[in-house]
Amino acid sequence: MAHKLTKSLVDSIPNPDSGQMFYRDTELKGFGLRVGTGSKVYFAEGKVNNKTVRVTIGHHGVFTAEQARQQAKNILGMIAGGINPNDADKAKRAKSVTLQQVFDAYLKARNSLKPRTVYDYSRFMKTYFEEWQNKPLADITKDLIERKHRQIGERSEAQANLAMRFMRAIFNFAIGQYEDSEGNPIISDNPIKRLSQTRSWYRVDRRQTVIKAHELPAWFKAVNALPETSNGINRHAVKDYLLLLIFTGLRREEALGLRWEYVDLKAKTLTVPDPKNRQPHTLPLSDFLFDLLKARYEQNQGQSLFVFPGSGAKGYMDDPGKQMKKVIEASGVSFTPHDLRRTFITIAESLDISAYALKRLANHKMANDVTAGYIIGDAERLRAPMQRITDYLLAAMNA
């Protein structure tokens, strides 16, 4: 319908019972009103590259007819110049999106990230990028990245690299997520490239620390002699947790979060259903591990779903850092939970256990190994190697 759009005319137009009605202004071509069941909205429309472009101006009542007409003139001027106002507005919004907003969108899109990964990323945001959280991502330049990397590196070169790998992922996500109507990225370049172009990444050698054979007796003695704690963590739980790590090579969270439903005392196996590489990991229990877990099961008496229960929100024991420090002090052997995994793998390799069995025991991916793809992973085939590792450890510990 064609009318000169005035306040009195727009006020008099009834709302339809269903659908929408369009009223186009007779004085300004491209200016119109869309009337729905409960709304009256001004718009401007024209063609850019032979495609019709419609731009919403706003609701009648918020805008008067004359205010909307003036806005329409500005919009139609852009269209006449070959500019799609929707693209311009989208680009403006995208360029103003903040680091925190992109991070929130990233977590929502990557909803399969492990809780530990989400925790680490959130820690990076709070620890290293707090002053950037409300900064538009487009304003984070290569120079800012280079200075921030150097600043973090003064405290920890490894953390500086990790923090920038996190930022690289955020920028790559933004490049793919925020586009104009032509599909062109609003943020076209990842500023983290500067670190590669200037060879600024820190060279951080992989940790190689293990508990050496001659250190195992003192470590084992200190673990078994752990005193009772005042923070509610049972010393026997800490002892069994540390022993489980070194006798299985499990990662810290895999052991802490182990549920009884994944411990099969009849088949003498344990399973980590969702490990780091997303491939369920089943290990046979050596005689020592079977006795350890059987004793814990009998003590548990169905009280907890977890092998190492705790009073925290997760339901299982918190990382026993303080108790580990006591072991270090008593034994003189410095170690981390991952050092126990490295110790397990190193001992397995020293016993000439086959490469395929070793990878299965450690649950390392073999995606690029064609031969490995034909080998069926059966826990029973790992039972003998597992027992050999256990026997070596017990002998070295003078257990």
The radius of gyration of the chain's CA atoms, rounded to the nearest angstrom, is 32
**Residue 374: per-residue pLDDT:** 39
**CATH for 96-197, options being 1.10.150.130, 1.10.357.10, 1.20.1050.10, 1.10.10.10:** 1.10.150.130
pLDDT, tens digit, 9 for 90 and up, residues 117-148: 898 999 999 999 999 999 998 889 999 999 99
pLDDT band at 14 (very low <50, low <70, confident <90, very high): very high
Q: Which residue has the tokens 């990028």?
A: 129
Q: For 149-164, what is the mean pLDDT? A: 93
Hey, which residues does 54 pair with through a beta bridge? Answer: 45
**CATH for 2-83, options being 3.30.1300.10, 3.30.160.390, 3.40.462.20, 3.40.1190.20:** 3.30.160.390
Hey, which residues does 21 pair with through a beta bridge? Answer: 35
Angle at 376 between CA 272 and CA 372, to 5 degrees: 100
Of 13-27, 216-230, 235-249, which gets the smallest average pLDDT?
216-230
Per-residue CA distances from 326 to 56, 158, 231, 255, 335 (Å): 67, 26, 14, 20, 11
Of 226-235, 245-254, 383-392, which gets the smallest average pLDDT?
226-235
**Residue 292: per-residue pLDDT:** 96
DSSP secondary structure letter of residue 249: -
**Residue 183: per-residue pLDDT:** 66
Contact 226, 238 (CB under 8 A): yes
Q: Cβ neighbours of residue 336 under 8 Å, at least 6 residues apart?
A: 209
Distance CA 318, CA 68 (A): 61
Strand order, beta sheet including 269-272: 263-264, 269-272, 281-284
**Residue 207: per-residue pLDDT:** 65
Strands 281-284 and 2-3, sheet pairing: unpaired
CATH 1.10.443.10, applies to 213-396: yes
pLDDT, tens digit, 9 for 90 and up, residues 366-389: 555 544 443 445 778 899 999 999
Q: Cβ neighbours of residue 337 under 8 Å, at least 6 residues apart?
A: 245, 251, 252, 255, 319, 324
Helix (H, G, I), strand (E, B) or coil at 372: helix
Contact 316, 253 (CB under 8 A): no
pLDDT, tens digit, 9 for 90 and up, residues 323-364: 999 999 999 999 999 999 999 999 999 998 888 888 888 887
pLDDT band at 90 (very low <50, low <70, confident <90, very high): low
Distance CA 104, CA 207 (A): 32
Of 98-102, 173-177, 285-289, which gets the smallest average pLDDT?
173-177
pLDDT of 114 strictly over 60: yes
Which contacts of 53-56 are long-range, i.e. CB under 8 A and separated by 24 or more positions? 53/79, 53/84, 53/85, 53/86, 55/85, 55/86, 55/89
pLDDT of 72 strictly over 60: yes
DSSP secondary structure letter of residue 179: B
Contact 221, 331 (CB under 8 A): yes
**Residue 231: per-residue pLDDT:** 57
- Percent residues over pLDDT 70 in the chain: 91
Asked if the domains at 96-197 and 213-396 fall in one CATH topology, the answer is no
**Residue 379: per-residue pLDDT:** 79
pLDDT of 208 strictly over 90: no
**Residue 279: per-residue pLDDT:** 77
DSSP secondary structure letter of residue 283: E
**Residue 50: per-residue pLDDT:** 85
Domain edges within the chain? 2-83, 96-197, 213-396
- DSSP per-residue string spanning 341-396: HHHHHHHHHHTT--HHHHHHHHT---TT-TGGGGS---HHHHHHHHHHHHHHHHHH
pLDDT, tens digit, 9 for 90 and up, residues 291-310: 999 999 998 887 889 999 98
**Which has the closest alpha carbon to 386: 282, 247, 252?**
247
Distance CA 318, CA 323 (A): 11
Give the mean pLDDT of the chain: 88
pLDDT band at 91 (very low <50, low <70, confident <90, very high): low
